[in-house]
Structures are given as C-alpha cells and as structure tokens.
Amino acid sequence: MTNPTEAEVITAIREVFGEGAAKLDDRSGILVPVDMWLRVATYLCKDRGFNYLGDLTAIDYKDHFEILYRIISLEKNQSLLIRVESTDREHPEAPSVITIWRGADFMEREVYDLMGIDFLGRSPLRRIFLWEGFEGYPLRKDFSL
Amino acid sequence: MNVKTEPLAINMGPLHPSTHGVFRMLAVLDGEVIVDLEPVFGYLHRGIEKLAEEKTYKQVIPLTDRLDYVSSMSNNLVYVLAVEKLAGIEVPERAQHIRVIMAELQRIASHLMAIGTWANDLGTFFTPFMYMFREREKIIDLFEMVSGQRLLYNYLRFGGLSHDLPDEFLPAVRKLLKVMPGYLNEYEELLKENEIVLARSMGIGVLPEELAINASASGPVLRGSGVKWDIRKVDPYSLYQHFDFDIPTGITGDSYDRYRVRLEEIRQSLHIIDQATQDLPAGEVKSKVPLNLRPPRGEAYSHIEAPRGELGCYVVSDGSTNPYRFHIRAPSLINLTCLKDMVMGLKIADAIVTFGSIDICMAEVDR
Amino acid sequence: MSRPNFGIPKGLLVTLKNIIRHPVTVQYPDERLVISRRARGTDIIWNKNTCIACRACERACPTKAISIDVSRGEDKKLKVDRFQIDFGTCIACGLCVESCPVEDALYMSYSYERAVYRREDLISSDDELLPGEGKQPSGYAHPEVEKTLTLQTLLLDKDREDSQ
C-alpha cells in the first residue's frame, strides 16, 4: 500500500476548494477544517477514488478533539489519513460522512458513544455499547475510572 | 390473493442459541419476511480501549488476547506491530517467520470454527461442527505447546516472541500439513454439494460488490463479494511479501460464496505455513527491548489481515509508559454494518444463516 | 452441482467413515491428557529463599493481583513481609514470571484444577505459595524445568500419516 504524495492531494483540494481547505499536518496526514470536510470528503471519494473508509476514530487532546479518517482507494492501492479537528469542549460536532461511506455508520456511533462527538446530518445518534442514560463519555481524558 | 399482515417486531437475543454470543437482533416481520432489522450489542463491552490507557505497553498484550478470543494470536500481532512501528523496534527474521506460522495456524483454527458454526446455523446439528472442532483442537494443541495456554496465548512480544519454539513443534506442524488436506476434502464432501446446504445458502444474504466496498466490509465478507483485497498482499507485514499464495474470491457474494472463500483460504494458509517452516532461519527470537518501554511521542497505525477481516490497531504515545490512546479497528463490528441490507426481504431463518456467514466474535464487536 | 442429488449420500458416506474411526475424546477425570510443558497453570509458586523483594512481579501484573509488603531488615537487606496473590483476579498471563530477575524465585504451576467454595479462598499468601506437595512448577519461562517434564499429548498423534 502506497501513500499518494500528500502534497499532491493537498494541491488538488486547494484548487477546488480554495487555500484554506487543506493543510499538511506535521505528524502525517492532511488537516481539513471541520466546516469544509463534507465537501472535501465527497470530492475525495467521487473524484479521487478513495472509495473505502478504512477506519474512523477520535482522540481527545484535552484542548481539542481530533477525528481521524483513514481512507483507501482499492483500485490504486493508496491510503490517506485525514484529520479533522473539533474544538468545542462541551458539544463537539463534525459532519457525518455516512452518505459517502456507509461503513461510517457504526464507527460514528462508536465515537459518539465513547467520545461524545456529535455527527450531524444523519439519523440521531444513539449509544451503541453503553446503555441509554449512561453519564459521561468514557474515552475522554477527564473521565476517570 | 393478496393477504395483508400487520408488521410484527420480534426480539431475538441477547442470547439466541445461534447468535454467536450476546447479540440481539430487533427484527420487524411482515408474515415471515424481514422488513427491518436492527442489530443491538454492547452486552460484552469491557472498555478495553480505556483500560489500555491505564496499563503499561507490555500489560496491554494480555488485554488484546481478550478482544477476539477465537483468534488471539492475530490480536497480539496487530498490537505488537503497531508498538514496534511506534518505537522503531527491529524484529529478528526467525521471529517474523514464526509469527507468520502462528498467524496462519490461527486463521485455520478460526475459519474452521466459522464454517462449523455456520453449518450449525444451517441446521446440520453439530456433525460438521464437531469434525471441525476436532481439527481445530489439533491446532490449539500446538498453540498450547508454544505458549502454555489454549485460548489466550499472550505469546508475541515487542521485538519478537516470548519464547522460542520447542523442539517437538516443527515435526508436529509438518504432520498437520500432511493430514490437513485430507480432512479439508472430507469437509468439502460433507457440505459442498449437499442439496440442503445449497438451497439454504445460495443466493441468501447477497452482498453486492459496491455495497461491500462502500460499507467498509473486509476479510472473507469483502472477498466473497468478488473484491480481490487482502492486506497480506496490498500492504505486506511480517515478511508476507516473500510467501506465495492466492487470494480466493467469490462471485455473487452470498453466504455460500463466503463459505467457499473461507475453505479455500485454509488451503492457502497451509501453503504459507509449508513455505514458512521450510526455510525457517535459525537465530534469536527476541531483540533487546527496554523493560519499561517508553516509545517516543507520536502515533502508529498497523493493520493486518485477521481471520475476520482487516484488524487495525492505532496507538498514540505521549512519551510515558502507557499509551495515550489505544484504538482497535474491529472487523467484526464493521462487517455488521450491512447486515440489514443483506437480510432485507429474506425469511427469519435465512437471517440466521446470513449472520452466521459474516462470522463475528462478540468480544471483538463490543470490546 | 454437476451430479444433482448426490450431495447428501456423499455426505452420509463421510459420516459413516467417521463412525468407525477411533474416538478422539478421553474420559476425564478417569483418563487425563498430559498438558503443555510450558503450561500457565492456575497457581503461582514462589520461592521465599531466593526472592530478592524487588517487586518486579507486582509492577508487571496487569490486573494488580499481586501485592507485596517489603521492609528493610536489620542487616540492611530487603525482605518480604507479605506476598499475596489474588487468584480471583489473576489472568494467568505469565508476565510476573517473565519479569522476575532471579532464576528460581517465581514459577507458574503445572496444575489446571482450582475450584473453591468461597472467593476468599482464592487469595493465597506467603506460605500457601511456597513449593511443596502437589505443586509442580511448570516450564513457562524456565527452560531447565521444561526439559524435565513429560511431553504433551497431542491429538495429532492419533492420526496416521497415511490414513487420509
């Protein structure tokens, strides 16, 4: 599996959506602003051939949440890491990509359940592992065991 | 005559005998035809991802055993690969070979169980299941020999393995390789042309290729739908690039195709083990790793082709002795995404067959 | 599918062949198989005399099943006051035995039967952990013990290589 040169994808995204739509992250992957993510995702899936969502998860970095999308192009055998940041501590939100990749369904529910990030634009999220009425989101760093 | 019926919601589970664990299906039926289905799970949720944040890197290895307890070796492998990538640890060649042998033996054991329970779901009351368990037992014996336990092996370590193979291991594996093809033929004779099996599984639970890709299906479910996608080929790890094997695929993506893919994968696994045992290099099985591992700040993602699909592990380090974030991409959970689409319009008994053919392990779904 | 209506008789033939095959099960507890020489059994054996009270096993335990009280004796040497293992939380992962820096202080046991009436009976401390009658150490992380144990019985041995 090869990574397409991230710079090349960033240039392509910027050509379509403008300068602020993509930024190279200093760890790895591409940082996409949360309000442009849905349009960028549609472009990546339909026009760039990233038709398979490998993994979706989120990390709590205390001052912000980071949602990671690992998208794969089965034809070209390429994988790409997209980072989307959500800064609102109380009500973190991100657009749902379920209309683009059906596989995001349970992964988004899992992130909502354990990390408390709301995905907009899909049927209302319910807890998937924990019971209804459970207080708090266990994978957040301020939730102690 | 067009008879109208009231839709009837029925609740199967959380411990329906054929649901492979504490799984619940909420099905809405029109007569006997399923018009809506919602899988409900979480009964086995132990919060492994959160627990791992409180443990040292080494202590997480026994935790990963408990993700998918039918294929512990694969879970061990994906986690140690992620940490090795994170900390930049080299693995000796002998250990890499043994890892391949273990992963493939695990795939055989897991697929035998998958086919056996699936045949059980079809209504073949325990006959094929017991035959396949007999062969699985032989593999479990080998795992017991190397690791000391039969189910939760805790065998792989960062930079290699916990122990080298015992002397009696290789002759036993060679013998297994000799007798296994005969047993596989036996299973084929038992099920492959059986008219009842064909009637119950062909055209049942069809997953079209586009939906399989779009719904992130992986492993035999994806390959059963005709997609030639195997992590061992497309992103080789642990020296898989040096071994010769084929990727079996199905055509229509029904339950029968998934069964055929699994059976063929067992043959390919035997072929890989054969190559790996033949040129097994001598030498160390463990490289030097600090006792209290502190990987540098950063993150690593590793993914492997586990028996159930693409198993991924994502580890974030903040430079301390325990992981900052530990995430598992669970193939069992994600393969269930399209269960509803697969069983729409089928009879309730077919839903069980379809569910069995996806082959999930509830401990991995819930984590 | 080339020969319709042959599938079921063919399958029954396999069943018939298996009826006359030698059984693979044994009648436990009258007959017992020999377990792995590296078995991680249901007990942990602790050698008080060689233990250096470094607490490596306590730190290695993922479930915090081991608790040790250590004090410094009059001769400035560390000694163990209390060594306690709760086998109710022990998951038999073997990390404690692996982490032990002394060669003959900690062993997994070779036993596999441990049923008690009360949970409190699963907590063993000090003298209950010492080697003794019926406490065979296993070869896990101890190759010198492994060599002395009998070979594990394998189901594979019941297969004849030419039988298939």
Q: What is the set of domains in chain C, with CATH numbers?
A: 40-141 (3.30.70.3270)
CATH code of the domain containing A33: 3.30.460.80
Enumerate the residues of chain A whose CB falls inside 8 A of the CB of residue B42: 127-131
Mean pLDDT computed over B94-104 = 91
C125: its two tokens: 């401390």
pLDDT recorded at residue B79: 92
Q: Convert B231-251 to b/e letters by CB count within 10 Å (16 or more is b).
A: bbbbbebbebeebebebbbbe
Contact status, residue B180 vs residue B231, Cβ threshold 8 Å? no
Three-state DSSP state, C81? strand
The mean pLDDT of B16-42, rounded to a whole number, is 81
User: Do B60 and B316 touch, CB atoms closer than 8 A?
Assistant: no
Q: What is the Cα–Cα distance from C140 to C45, expressed in whole angstroms? A: 12
- CB contact under 8 Å between C14 and B141, yes or no, is no
- Contact list, C138 vs chain B (CB under 8 Å): 148
The answer to whether the CB atoms of C11 and B186 lie below 8 A apart is: no
Nearest CB to A27 within list B41, B299, B338: B299
- Cβ contacts of C40 on chain B, cutoff 8 Å: 148-149
User: Which 145-204 residues of chain B touch chain C by CB within 8 A?
Assistant: 145-149, 152, 154, 162-163, 166, 168, 172, 175-176, 178-179, 181-183, 185-186, 189-198
Between the two ends of chain C, the Cα-to-Cα distance in Å is 25
Q: Which residue of B has its CA nearest to C156?
A: B138
Sign of CA dihedral C36, C38, C39, C43: positive
**Looking at residue B279, what DSSP letter applies?**
T
Tell me the C-alpha distance between B25 and B351, whole Å: 10
Per DSSP, B306 falls in state E
**CA dist B215 → A98, A107, B253, B340, C73 (Å):** 9, 11, 14, 11, 65
- Using CB atoms, pick whichever of A1, A103, A131 lies closest to residue B235: A1
Closest by Cα among C52, C88, C96, C49 to C70 = C52
Q: Which domains does chain B have, with CATH numbers?
A: 8-365 (1.10.645.10)
Helix axes B93-122, B255-278, angle to 10 degrees: 150
Q: What's the pLDDT at B130? A: 86
Cα separation values, B294 from B123, B322, C156, Å:
52, 8, 42
Interface touch B50/A138, C-beta < 8 Å: yes
Q: With the CA atoms of C95, C96, C97 and C98 taken in that order, what torsion angle do they form, in degrees rounded to the nearest 10?
A: 50
- In this predicted structure, what is the pLDDT of residue C33? 86
Instruction: Return the pLDDT at A1.
Output: 65
Global pTM value = 0.89
Q: Which residue of B has its CA nearest to A81?
A: B301
Q: Does residue A144 fall inside a structural domain?
A: no
Instruction: Tell me: pLDDT of B102 over 60.
Output: yes
- Domain membership of residue A32 as a residue range: 6-120
Rounded-to-10 torsion of CA C110, C116, C122, C128: -60
Pick from C62, C99, C156: which is nearest to B55 by CB?
C62
Q: How far is CA C134 from CA B122, C45, C111, C112, in A?
A: 47, 11, 9, 12
Q: Closest residue of B to C155, CA-based? A: B138
**pLDDT value of residue B131:** 86
Looking at the domain assignment, is residue A95 inside a domain?
yes
Q: CB-CB: which of B162, B179, B194 is closest to C11?
A: B194
Instruction: Say yes or no to pLDDT of A141 above 80.
Output: yes
Quote the mean pLDDT of chain A: 84
Distance from C-alpha of A69 to C-alpha of A65, rounded to nearest angstrom: 13
Report the number of distinct structural domains present in chain A: 1
DSSP string, B110-169: HHHHHHHHHHHHHT--SHHHHHHHHHHHHHHHHHHHHHS-SS----EETTEESSPPPTTH
Classified as helix, coil or strand, B204 is coil
Q: Does B342 touch chain A (CB under 8 A)?
A: no
Least CB-CB distance to A106: which of B213, B301, B336? B336
* Interface check B287 vs C, CB under 8 A: no
With respect to residue A131, please indicate whether it lies within any of the assigned structural domains: no
- pLDDT value of position B315: 92
User: Averaged over B298-326, what is the pLDDT?
Assistant: 90
The residue whose two tokens read 């994978």 is A139
CB B360 within 8 A of CB B335: yes
Residue A99 lies in a domain: yes
- What pLDDT sits at residue C117? 92
Q: B–C: how many Cβ contacts below 8 A? A: 115
Q: Which of B9-13, B327-331, C128-132 has the lowest mean pLDDT?
A: C128-132
| pLDDT one-digit tens code per residue, B149-200 | 888 888 998 888 888 888 888 889 988 898 888 888 888 888 877 778 888 8
For residue A2, name the pLDDT band (cuts at 50, 70, 90).
low
- CA distance to partner chain C, nearest, from residue B42 (Å): 23
CB nearest A129 (choices: B51, B338, B366):
B366
pLDDT in tens, B239-296: 888 888 899 988 888 888 898 899 899 999 999 999 988 888 888 888 888 888 888 8
Closest CA to B22 of B34, B40, B38: B40
Closest chain B residue to A57, measured at CA: B327
Task: Tell me, yes or no, whether A126 lies in a domain.
Answer: no
Q: Say yes or no: B38 contacts chain C, CB-CB below 8 A.
A: no
pLDDT band at B360 (very low <50, low <70, confident <90, very high): confident
Residue B183: list chain C partners with CB under 8 A. 164
Res C164: pLDDT: 47
CA angle C138–C144–C146, rounded 5-degree value: 40
The verdict on residue A58 lying in a domain is yes
- Written as tens digits, the pLDDT of chain C (164 aa) is 455 677 788 878 888 888 887 788 888 888 888 888 888 888 888 888 888 888 888 888 888 888 888 888 777 778 888 888 888 888 888 888 888 888 888 888 888 888 889 888 888 887 777 777 778 888 888 888 888 888 888 888 777 654 54
Q: How far is B279 from chain C (nearest CA, A)?
A: 22
Chains C and A touch (3+ CB pairs under 8 A): no
Mean pLDDT, residues B346-361 taken together: 86
What pLDDT, on the 0 to 100 scale, is given for residue C162?
A: 47
| In-domain check, residue A133 | no
